């Protein structure tokens, strides 16, 4: 028999194919360990990647970095609601704390219906200067009017004793609260020939910033308190604004109550206790005939005022001054 001869190139291809088929059959029959089969791939394939482990669409899956606690995380937004007041916002303010200034509140003004008239807001106090403040003695000439503010106080009796020694008359501008507390001193002032002046209920400063109704109460109530302390309905001719803070407004209030506004021409600032000699020198250098001197018998320690008065009274007499009341 003559064998047909297969060309060498084809023989090589056939041998390679046979070897490949034989290997595949062996693997299917036995299953090689360590080499995943198609079933094994399906069993061990990871679950469908989640959004946290999947990169951009169509890209290779990647493992997202786990955020450090407190970083890179967001708290879900709660539904809108009115916040609960905190302890700091609900605690009452100290009655002694100074209020913190705040920006003025702007209030929207509702539109008025057609034909209606808008309500007139309260008018602020007028700060126009007063024009009728008295600053002279009643008699003029070489006279002086001594006035004492903020009493009656612990020093009032000493002041009255000194005035009596020199036959001097004076005007006492009294705080309503103090007059109510020391009625005996008020009565002694009148009994010894001196006069009374209204110096408000409790010395508010600055006076002109107070609402009109409060200014009325300060002046009118003090007048009643002084009259009640003195008894016998004494005439109170003057009133004096705390710190000399006179305005056309409070001048009119005093006038409506039958009182005139009393100022001064010499202020040695004895209330600040600058020293006895400073008080004496100030009066001696600034006093002119017909002048009104301002000093204090209440409102604090007035020992310097009393000591200065011991020097000023004999000096005034030596200078030929007569003691007078303010003009009225």
pLDDT in tens, 228-245: 999 988 999 999 999 999
If phi > 0 it is left, if psi is from -120 to 50 it is alpha, else beta; for residue 243 that is left
CA distance linking residue 185 with residue 229, whole number of Å: 9
Out of 7-16, 71-80, 203-212, 282-291, pick the least confident: 71-80
Given a cut of 80, whether residue 191 has pLDDT beyond it is yes
Residue ranges in the chain assigned as alpha helix (H): 8-30, 38-44, 87-90, 156-165, 176-181, 183-191, 212-230, 248-256, 276-286, 303-318
Q: What is the pLDDT of residue 127?
A: 78
Band (pLDDT 50/70/90 cuts) for residue 125 is low
Known active-site residue 256: no
Average pLDDT of the chain is: 75
Q: What is the pLDDT of residue 232?
A: 86
Q: What is the pLDDT of residue 51?
A: 37
How much of the chain exceeds pLDDT 90, in percent? 61
Q: What is the pLDDT of residue 79?
A: 33
Tokens of 66: 């786990």
By residue count, the chain amounts to: 328
* Choice among 194, 199, 208, 296 that is catalytic: 296
Task: Determine contact, residues 164/158, Cβ cutoff 8 Å.
Answer: no
pTM: 0.64
pLDDT in tens, 203-224: 999 999 999 999 999 999 999 9
Domain 143-323 = CATH 3.20.20.370 = yes
Q: Which stretch, 28-42, 48-62, 291-305, has highest mean pLDDT?
A: 291-305
Q: Please spell the DSSP secondary structure of 157-190, one letter per residue.
A: HHHHHHHHHTT--EEEEE-HHHHHH-HHHHHHHH
Known active-site residue 270: no
Band (pLDDT 50/70/90 cuts) for residue 38 is very low
Q: What is the pLDDT of residue 233?
A: 85
Band (pLDDT 50/70/90 cuts) for residue 313 is very high
Q: What is the pLDDT of residue 30?
A: 38
The ranges assigned to domains in the chain are 143-323
* Choice among 149, 270, 297, 324 that is catalytic: 149
Given a cut of 70, whether residue 265 has pLDDT beyond it is yes
Band (pLDDT 50/70/90 cuts) for residue 123 is low
Residue with token string 């034989």:
22
Task: Determine contact, residues 137/167, Cβ cutoff 8 Å.
Answer: no
pLDDT in tens, 58-117: 333 333 333 333 333 333 333 333 333 333 333 333 333 333 333 333 333 334 444 444
């Amino acid at each position: 028999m003559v064998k047909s001869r297969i060309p060498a190139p084809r023989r090589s291809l056939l041998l390679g194919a046979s070897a490949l088929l034989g290997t595949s059959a062996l693997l299917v029959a036995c299953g090689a360990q360590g080499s995943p089969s198609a079933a094994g791939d399906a069993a061990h394939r990871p679950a469908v990647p989640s959004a946290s482990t999947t990169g951009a669409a169509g890209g290779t899956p990647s493992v997202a970095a786990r955020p450090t606690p407190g970083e890179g995380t967001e708290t879900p937004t709660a539904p809108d609601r009115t916040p609960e007041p905190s302890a700091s916002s609900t605690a009452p303010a100290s009655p002694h704390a100074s209020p913190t200034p705040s920006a003025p509140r702007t209030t929207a003004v509702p539109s008025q219906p057609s034909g209606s008239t808008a309500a007139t807001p309260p008018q602020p106090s007028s700060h126009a200067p007063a024009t009728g403040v008295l600053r002279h003695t009643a008699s003029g000439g070489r006279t002086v009017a001594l006035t004492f503010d903020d009493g009656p106080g612990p020093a009032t009796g000493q002041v009255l004793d000194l005035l009596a020694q020199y036959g001097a008359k004076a005007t006492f501008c009294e705080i309503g609260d103090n007059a109510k507390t020391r009625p005996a001193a008020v009565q002694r002032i009148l009994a010894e020939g001196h006069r009374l002046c209204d110096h408000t209920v409790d010395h508010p400063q600055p006076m002109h910033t107070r609402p009109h109704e409060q200014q009325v109460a300060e002046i009118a109530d003090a007048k009643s308190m002084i009259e009640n302390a003195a008894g016998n309905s004494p005439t109170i001719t003057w009133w004096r604004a705390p710190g000399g803070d006179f305005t056309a407004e409070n001048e009119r209030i005093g006038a409506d109550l039958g009182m005139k506004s009393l100022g001064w021409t010499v202020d040695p600032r004895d209330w600040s206790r600058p020293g006895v000699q400073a008080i004496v020198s100030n009066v001696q250098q600034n006093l002119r005939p017909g002048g009104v001197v301002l000093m204090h018998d209440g409102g604090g320690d007035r020992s310097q005022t009393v000591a200065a008065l011991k020097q000023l009274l004999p000096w005034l007499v030596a200078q030929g001054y007569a003691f007078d009341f303010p003009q009225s």
